[in-house]
Structure 1
Amino acid sequence: MISADNAGDNTLDETYSYSLTSNLLSDGAGTLTWMAPTVCRASQNGATVTLAYGPDGAQVKKSWDFATLSRSQCRD
């Protein structure tokens, strides 16, 4: 677990947790579930997004309740 203290303003403090393989699991606001080394499900406030990554680590697919995007559409 890693924490960031924002100079006395505790409303801005952040806490991150990671798996043994260095995958982010929580950023204090949402959670990430790694279903495979290249597939992650992110959840926050009842909304869930599933992200898939290629062998080069680039995002290749993004799926949520409203749509599924392919690699060329995933660039944020």
Structure 2
Amino acid sequence: MMNVPPEQSDEQAHGTRVCAQCGAPFRCGMLAGDAACWCATLPALPLDRLRPGVSCLCPACLAREIERAARPD
């Protein structure tokens, strides 16, 4: 069994996060202790698309952000 810091919720202990954009719950492989997360297989967002203090996005929101970043302005 994994040791979970007291400030870490049960959801976080099982790798569940809440999307910073839409509020949907999703599984974070890194939080769950997997070797890699599903997001590691996707193209990285350009630095100018990252927002300080904003946590992870769910698969649907991250896919939309990657698509928007790929479009010319």
Bin of the TM-score, shorter chain as denominator length: under 0.3
Structure with bigger RCO (C-alpha 8 Å, 6+ apart): 2
Larger strand proportion, structure 1 or 2? Answer: 1
TM-score after normalising by structure 1: 0.25
TM-score after normalising by structure 2: 0.26
- The structure whose Rg is larger is 1
Larger helix proportion, structure 1 or 2? Answer: 2
